[in-house]
Amino acid sequence: MGILSGIFKSRDKPTNRTAGSAYGFFLGSSTSGKKVNERSAMQMTAVYSCVRILSEAVASLPLHFYEYRGDGSKAKATDHPLYFLLHDEPNPEMSSYTFREVLMTHLLLWGNAYAQIIRNGKGEIVALYPLMPDRMTVDRDDKGKIYYQYYMTVDDAPTNQGKWVTLAATDVLHIPGLGFDGLVGYSPIAMAKNAIGMAIACEEYGAKFFANGAAPSGVLEHPGTIKDPSRVRESWTQTFGGSSNANKVAVLEEGMKYTPISISPEQAQFLETRKFQINEIARIFRVPPHMVGDLEKSSFSNIEQQSLEFVKYTLDPWISRWEQAMVRSLLTAQEKKKYFIKFNMDGLLRGDYQSRMNGYAIGRQNGWMSANDIRELENLDKIPAELGGDLYLINGNMTKLQDAGLFAKGSEGGEEENHEEVLELEESGSDGEQSGGENAVSERNNRRGKLVR
């Protein structure tokens, strides 16, 4: 298959271009003239912050492997080998946190995340190892089946350096990002290379501005003819160039005059441009500006709502990609009917302390939460069952709608008789306090019970 792979058209190379349409977005030089790729983009603070926020959020969420029970409930399948791989250690070299952080970083920068699935002789999954997206290609064979080719380097195995290794689709966990064909995702960095390139250019301009002594470039004018202008230029740069030489007093000889020709950064709206590009990058990754340090439009009244929207509209779609890709690649057809993989996002959706307590009180009073259910969500020890920790309580002044008219229905056809009997009971009850005592009261209660029934 490796020999014949060149005959068949490559599905895509996720590292440098998008395919599936009549045009392509190539990594490399942007309209600003700056080279943009995944690694150069990470040198931008806004890109680094967005990637770090999303990758750490996905890596820090609890990841569990569940099984369906016969009664419709679910339980953690701790005895299944995949539970340990996903929850604790996918391979002997890294933790579950590190594994998910690496794959999420790949997904955000290259648009794809790959991991090799290692199986034992029984076909059981024993390890998962991340693979670099820039060395992976996705192709189809002559029968239309997808297979993966991975380029090995000395970092992978010294014996396989410079070789292509072919992997079957069943041996690769592939999490694709947004794409045009549903099979391969495309790099957000490639899609937004012009916006990122402009941000890189603005940052480089600011660095060079301060490197040149925070003074605008200009022209040294001489009334006569200079025999060696390069020497004068180098002398001027050496004396007054660089931030360490800023604000030095220049002494001009022989009638020389310095004339600035560049506009100031304020006139060029340099700071506004840099700020806009930061928001532009945050918009690419759908990260709220306050999470990358822009608090201009954030306040104590709306920042909690923005955080909840981050979980709902930004993080949840990525989580769905992860869950469905893992189920598709790691479970057999029979296991998919019995098991499922789920991230626990309850901790991120919790509000402030007072809001949580009010919500718990509503659940407790309406009977769908017990004391132990609440304590488990708050990471507290359970109350023993004999002390009522698992009881479900409801308010006593509530009844079913179908039972609302039972008393009236029981008294139909004998309302007058019942009314007279009630009066008689009340009179006998008042006399009973003098003559009959407890026996009269007991007789009254028994007769009233018969009326109700």
In the structure encoding, which two tokens stand for residue 22, read together? 């009549």
Compute CA distances 281 → 55, 261, 287, 378, 394, whole Å.
Answer: 16, 32, 9, 36, 51
Domains of the chain, by residue range, sit at 1-214+264-349, 218-261, 352-398, 405-452
- On whether the CB atoms of residues 196 and 36 are closer than 8 A, the answer is yes
- Asked if 451 contacts 422 with a C-beta cutoff of 8 angstroms, the reply is yes
Query: Concatenated DSSP letters for 350-380?
Result: ---HHHHHHHHHHHHHTTS--HHHHHHHTT-
Report yes or no on whether pTM surpasses 0.75: no
> Do residues 211 and 270 make contact, with C-beta atoms less than 8 angstroms apart?
no
What tokens were used for 94? 């890294």
Burial 96-120 (b: 16+ CB within 10 A, else e): beebbbbbbbbbbbbbbbbbbbeee
Contact 185, 133 (CB under 8 A): no
3-state class of 63 per DSSP?
strand
Residue 349 CB burial class (10 angstroms; 0-12, 13-18, ≥19): exposed
Q: What is the pLDDT of residue 126?
A: 94
Measure the CA–CA gap between 152 and 160, rounded to whole angstroms. Answer: 6
User: What secondary structure does DSSP assign to 92-134, as a single string?
Assistant: TTB-HHHHHHHHHHHHHHHSEEEEEEEE-TTS-EEEEEEE-GG
Alpha-carbon span 107 to 42, nearest angstrom: 14
187: left (phi over 0), alpha (psi -120 to 50) or beta: beta
* Closest to 114 measured CA to CA, from 320, 329, 324, 341: 329
Nearest to 330 by CA among 170, 176, 187: 170
Find the helix packing angle between 316-330 and 45-60, rounded to 10°. Answer: 60
Instruction: Say what the pLDDT of residue 18 is.
Output: 37
Q: Does residue 116 contact residue 131 with C-beta atoms inside 8 Å?
A: yes
pLDDT at 278: 82
Write down the pLDDT at residue 10.
41
Specify the pLDDT at position 186. Answer: 86
Confidence (pLDDT) at 332: 92
Instruction: Report pLDDT for 133.
Output: 92
User: Which residue from 165, 253, 154, 271 is spatially nearest to 209, judged by alpha carbons?
Assistant: 271
Q: Check residue 24 and give its pLDDT.
A: 39
Q: How confident is the model at residue 59, as a pLDDT? A: 94
Q: Cα separations (Å) of 179 from 19, 268, 289, 363?
A: 9, 37, 25, 42
Reference 175, options 107, 126, 117; nearest CA is: 107
Token readout for 71 is 């009664």
Per-residue pLDDT of the chain (453 residues; tens, 9 = 90+): 333 333 334 444 333 333 433 333 455 556 566 778 888 888 888 899 999 999 999 999 999 999 998 777 888 899 999 999 999 999 999 999 999 999 999 999 999 999 999 999 888 999 999 999 989 998 888 888 899 999 888 776 666 666 888 999 999 999 999 888 888 888 888 888 888 887 777 777 766 666 655 555 666 666 666 666 677 667 766 666 555 555 566 666 666 777 665 656 555 566 666 677 788 888 889 998 888 776 676 666 667 777 788 888 889 999 999 999 999 999 999 999 999 999 988 767 666 677 778 888 888 888 888 888 888 877 788 898 888 888 888 877 766 667 766 655 655 555 555 555 544 545 554 454 444 445 544 554 554 444 444
Q: Which amino acid is at 419?
A: H
Strands 63-68 and 35-36: unpaired
Give the pLDDT score at 12.
40
- List CB contacts of 315: < 8 A, sequence separation 6 or more: 54, 57, 58, 345, 348
Closest by alpha carbon to 116, among 105, 101, 103?
103
Rounded-to-integer distance, Cα 182 and Cα 111, Å: 12
* Residue the block writes with tokens 């000889």: 253
Q: Which of 82, 46, 49, 47 is nearest to 63 (CA)?
A: 82
Quote the pLDDT of residue 181: 80
Structure tokens at 65: 């492997």
